[in-house]
Amino acid sequence: MSFMFPLIAFIILFMLGRHLGKQIALGFAITMSFLSLIICLYYFIHVFFYGQIYSFNLGSWVSVGTLDITYKFIIDPLSITFGTLISFITLLILIYSYDYLHEDPNLVKFFAYLSFFSFSMSCLVFAGNYFIMFLGWEAVGLASYLLINFWTTRNQANQSAIKAIIFNRVGDAAFISAMGLIYYLFNSFDLEDLELLVPQYEHTTFSLFSYSFHTIELIALFLFLAAAAKSAQLFLHPWLPDAMEGPTPVSALLHSATMVTAGVFLILRSSVIFSHAPYISLLVACIGLITANISSLTGLLQYDIKRIIAFSTCSQLGFMMFATGIGNYTFALFHLVNHAFFKALLFLCAGSVIHATGHQDIRRMGALFKALPITYVAMLLASLSLIGFPFLSGFYSKDFLLEATYNIFGMFSYVIYFISTISTAVSSFYSFRLIFFVFLGDQASSIKTLKTISESSYFLYLPLIILTILSIFSGFYLKDLMTIQTSLYNFSASPFSDTATDQDFFNDLFKVLPTIFSLSGLLLVYIIYLKLNLKSQLLYRQYLLLPYLSCKKFFADAFNSFYIFLPSATFSLNITYKIIDQGVLEHLGSTGIYAFLESIFESIVNVETTLIIYRSFLFIIFVLGATLSIFYGLYAFLIAIFFISTLNIFNTEITS
């Protein structure tokens, strides 16, 4: 299996990396990642061109009664698409990281963590049952924590890593709940078994506290909560922008092919469940659409270059969730693949800018297009692809997705389509705003002399060139392979699928409207920042509601703090800790049992000590009587025996 090579790289580099040196460690990590990519490409060809599907059962892990958990892995169109994407992006980021973190003393450890990240995500996508998938799910969370907190001396990095872990605990709990219900209903975790069993149990109910629940809907709800935490959906998204405290290559990998795409993958892999849960599918679509718009609006007035791109990730993930909710699973996957290329490119370009300027504040940048021409062209093309500019990769997937909303919601189709398109316009605005501040604006007074800024070595710009090519052409070359007309992916039919695919009946206006809205973002940037010169003026943020909410991130952090984490912490302190942990469990648990046994043994020890002293005293009298009998005859010994017998009669409590 291809994911074994990143695992080998992680083990060797983590244990022996400090003895190998940076260059050998990089060469070894790249070799392992390249071998993983070669194997993925081999299976990719056999799966897509020969129609073969592989299943590997490496033995039984747990077998108790009817529970049989095996080390099962499957290679099908969905898993091999993700696996190839993960291996390819990881390979490019390893090359990029060598120059970006060349001076970091822990560079070898960084390579090890990246390899572990790649292994974890690959284990997740190739898993043949939900139990193995959950192990990969947890490993991805651990790897993200290690990489976000890579610079352990930074307090903000530590807090951001903990925040990511806490938010993802919600998803982990939901995943475990879904697994429990899956085994309760189907008596199996196997994905192939569920493909056959789910339609037969479509109307099964689950009773709890005299309430009945539709079991399939409940399983879908828990799976969606798990996916929402990993893929940073509404109310569970604040961890994602804060994850920018890690090194920029981490952000590129986390946002393109690993951590945040795990939630979308979970829904795609569980399409057979969601296709029989129409109410939860509708909920997924609604949450995804709201997330796409809120995240876009939040990114409007951010000034950290990496956070702006991070909010665009939230927005695009919302679109992917929206696509899965309306049954367009293939479009969601198509957009995910294209998004991986231009989003990795955006972050690597941001890293190039940060590497050159030494900071992340776009207000302290400007006029960098001459000093960083490769980065400028790459970032411009990535931004155009992000907004769905015609004939770039994002255009083919994003516009297909927007068009698919037109005929789904009946009388609300126009409203839903308009809301979706508005998000595209907002994305266009902050994308061009970023380009203006960094490359086209006036040179900031705090920036280093432009003569000292230049492109770095080929380690840095080679991945940019490769990803730029893919950001231009991937959509065109993959559209026939990854559109809904193909049956290669074998996603289950959704209640909305029939209406979502009638693309030929769309009005021509609705085909060009997303492009018009995208270009409107460019026009707004031109008017606001060039004509009105509001680059350094803050008054417009104070009197308009939308800019104010954008600057405050729509109070997402405040909402989570006051309405979720503060009540949870209060409950944990006053109930869980004081009453249960330090109260009931203190007396009935191990501490109470220890105190009880300690008191018993102390009393036993006290009794035994008294008995030993008493019998020692009698023995001394006996020896004294025997000694005196030598000089005074047998009478002295008999007196001693009489004295001992008398003491025993009057001290029965001690001797008993």
| Tally of CB atoms within 10 A around 188 | 19
Structure tokens at 203: 């109307």
Residues 393 and 341: their CA atoms lie apart, in Å, by 9
| CA proximity to 118, closest of 231, 256, 232 | 256
Counting the structural domains of the chain, the total is: 3
Asked whether the beta carbons of 1 and 73 are under 8 A apart, the reply is: yes
Domain of residue 188 covers 1-198+231-260
pLDDT the model gives residue 586: 65
Which of the 8 DSSP states describes residue 76?
Answer: -
pLDDT over 80 at 505, yes or no: no
Place of tokens 């991937």: 474
Structure tokens at 479: 């559209």
CA 588 to chain centroid, in Å, comes to: 38
Report the amino acid identity of residue 572.
S
pLDDT the model gives residue 654: 46
pLDDT over 50 at 501, yes or no: no
pLDDT the model gives residue 498: 45
Is the domain of 193 the same as that of 296?
no
Beta carbons within 8 Å of 588's beta carbon, 6+ residues apart: none
Is the domain of 445 the same as that of 470?
yes
The DSSP secondary structure of 406-453, one letter per residue, reads TTTSGGGHHHHHHHHHHHHHHHHHHHHHHHIIIIISPPPTTSPPGGG-
| DSSP element (H, E) containing 34 | helix 22-50
Q: Higher model confidence: residue 46 or residue 502? A: 46
SS3 157: helix
Structure tokens at 117: 């990240």
pLDDT over 60 at 646, yes or no: yes
pLDDT the model gives residue 450: 63
Is the domain of 241 the same as that of 355?
no
Q: 440-456: string of b/e by CB count within 10 Å (b at 16+)?
A: bbeebeebeeeeebebb
Which tens digit of pLDDT belongs to each residue from 139-163?
Answer: 999 999 999 999 888 888 898 888 8
Is the domain of 88 the same as that of 185?
yes
Asked whether the beta carbons of 265 and 119 are under 8 A apart, the reply is: no
Structure tokens at 60: 């039984």
Of 293-307, 456-470, 492-506, 555-569, the poorest mean pLDDT is in 492-506
Residues 154 and 135: their CA atoms lie apart, in Å, by 29
Place 545 in a pLDDT band, splitting at 50, 70 and 90.
Answer: low
| CA proximity to 105, closest of 188, 37, 17, 175 | 17
Residues 601 and 596: their CA atoms lie apart, in Å, by 9
Beta carbons within 8 Å of 459's beta carbon, 6+ residues apart: 95, 96, 98, 99
Which tens digit of pLDDT belongs to each residue from 427-463?
Answer: 888 888 899 888 887 766 555 556 667 667 778 888 9
pLDDT the model gives residue 502: 47
Is the domain of 157 the same as that of 193?
yes
CA angle, residues 291, 294, 296, in degrees to nearest 5: 100
SS3 129: strand
Please give the backbone phi and psi of residue 205, each rounded to the nearest 5 degrees, phi first: -110, 160
The verdict on residue 500 lying in a domain is no
| CA proximity to 502, closest of 411, 405, 419, 415 | 405
Gap between the terminal Cα atoms of the chain? 73
pLDDT the model gives residue 412: 67
pLDDT the model gives residue 538: 47
Is the domain of 253 the same as that of 356?
no
Residues 166 and 169: their CA atoms lie apart, in Å, by 5
Is the domain of 417 the same as that of 350?
yes
| CA proximity to 456, closest of 335, 340, 371 | 371
pLDDT over 70 at 478, yes or no: yes
The DSSP secondary structure of 539-576, one letter per residue, reads HHHHH-HHHHHHHTGGGHHHHHIIIIIHHHHHHIIIII
Q: Higher model confidence: residue 63 or residue 553? A: 63
Residues 261 and 240: their CA atoms lie apart, in Å, by 12
| CA proximity to 314, closest of 537, 583, 556 | 556
pLDDT the model gives residue 500: 45
Q: Higher model confidence: residue 439 or residue 606? A: 439
Q: Higher model confidence: residue 243 or residue 175? A: 175
Question: Mean pLDDT across the stretch 207-231?
Answer: 87
C-alpha distances out from residue 639 to 502, 624, 635, 644, Å: 118, 11, 6, 9
The verdict on residue 218 lying in a domain is no
Place 67 in a pLDDT band, splitting at 50, 70 and 90.
Answer: confident
Length, in residues, of the chain: 656
Is the domain of 244 the same as that of 308?
no
Residues 200 and 205: their CA atoms lie apart, in Å, by 13
Q: Is the dihedral of CA 39, 135, 266, 200 positive or negative?
A: positive
The verdict on residue 211 lying in a domain is no
Is the domain of 253 the same as that of 282?
no
Question: Mean pLDDT across the stretch 286-305?
Answer: 86
Q: Higher model confidence: residue 424 or residue 464? A: 464
The verdict on residue 590 lying in a domain is no
Is the domain of 465 the same as that of 324?
yes
pLDDT the model gives residue 514: 75
Bridge partners of residue 55, in order along the sequence: 74
The verdict on residue 499 lying in a domain is no
pLDDT the model gives residue 627: 76
pTM given for the model:
0.83
The verdict on residue 473 lying in a domain is yes
Structure tokens at 444: 């900031």
Is the domain of 253 the same as that of 330?
no
One-letter-per-residue 3-state SS of 207-221: EECCEEEEHHHHHHH
Residues 81 and 356: their CA atoms lie apart, in Å, by 34
The verdict on residue 221 lying in a domain is no
pLDDT the model gives residue 11: 92
Q: Give the chain's mean pLDDT.
A: 80
Is the domain of 43 the same as that of 191?
yes
pLDDT the model gives residue 470: 94
pLDDT the model gives residue 75: 92
C-alpha distances out from residue 548 to 192, 238, 554, Å: 50, 18, 8
The verdict on residue 208 lying in a domain is no
Asked whether the beta carbons of 53 and 308 are under 8 A apart, the reply is: no
